[in-house]
């Protein structure tokens, strides 16, 4: 392990906390709306964090669909701010084949790498070689539930679909910051790429990639393991302080 941190071992394995093996912790939760002004145009929704996240690494954003008037929902995410001052996020959405304006309610949870001093007078604090906090026992550590491990690829004329095959429960939160705008993973041959969380009324985890016209290419999956985490955040444990 690194020179600074903690390693705990027993008969079943080990746990390492260090500046190399950082700990993802809960930051805040809330709700936001996705709406549109026109039925044939994109929708959007945004969140401003109650407190900026001051890590160098961008936060992980998880969302859960609460309600909506459409049977489909896909969007890409833009995280707002900069290293050391992440302030919120915006989602830009699209739906298919519905004459109604977009109107969704989603619940979000923002998470970050531990970097704040403990709020308790008792417990454990760990620091790196520069004296920066890497863990405190008062942190609310994220418990990952499942990950996308393989993707089924369906090639289309204009839109390619990647299906994770995961079963998404009603209380599952999907990481949407895994695809920030989305197009980078598709080697530049993309006009729009985003996560689809609702498909024909069913909760799913898919990627829809609208390919760039006039430029032939074959993306495939090449055994790529794009691991998008899915978590549960019960309000009895993960709540705003």
User: pLDDT for 93-129, tens place per residue?
Assistant: 988 777 889 999 999 999 999 999 988 889 999 988 8
Give the Cα separation of 47 and 120 in Å (integer).
Answer: 29
Backbone angles phi, psi at 71, to 5 degrees: -95, 0
Closest CA relative to residue 35, chosen from 105, 108, 107, 110: 105
Burial class (CB in 10 A: 0-12, 13-18, 19+), 82: exposed
pLDDT tens-digit readout, 163-202: 999 999 999 999 998 776 655 556 556 777 889 999 999 9
**50's tokens:** 């109650």
pTM: 0.89
For the chain, what are the domain ranges? 146-232
């Amino acid at each position: 392990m690194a020179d600074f941190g903690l390693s705990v071992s027993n008969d079943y394995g080990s746990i390492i906390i260090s500046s190399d093996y950082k700990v993802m912790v809960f930051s805040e939760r809330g709700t936001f709306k996705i709406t549109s002004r026109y039925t044939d145009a994109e929708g959007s929704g945004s969140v401003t964090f109650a407190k900026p996240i001051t890590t160098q690494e961008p936060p992980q954003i998880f969302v859960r669909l609460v309600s909506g008037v459409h049977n489909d929902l896909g969007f890409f995410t833009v995280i707002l701010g900069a290293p050391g001052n992440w302030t919120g996020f915006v989602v830009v959405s699209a739906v298919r084949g519905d004459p109604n304006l977009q109107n969704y309610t989603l619940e979000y949870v923002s998470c970050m790498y531990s970097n704040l001093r403990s709020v308790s007078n008792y417990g454990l604090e760990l620091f790196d070689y520069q004296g920066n906090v890497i863990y405190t026992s008062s942190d609310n550590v994220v418990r990952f539930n499942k990950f996308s491990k393989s993707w089924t690829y369906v090639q289309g004329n204009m839109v390619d679909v990647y299906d994770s095959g995961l079963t998404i429960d009603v209380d599952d939160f999907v990481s949407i910051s895994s695809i920030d705008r989305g197009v980078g993973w598709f080697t530049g041959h993309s006009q729009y790429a985003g996560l689809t969380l609702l498909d024909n009324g069913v909760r799913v985890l898919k990627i829809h990639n609208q390919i760039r016209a006039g430029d032939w290419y074959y993306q495939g999956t090449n055994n790529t393991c794009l691991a998008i985490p899915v978590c549960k955040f019960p309000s009895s444990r993960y709540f705003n302080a």
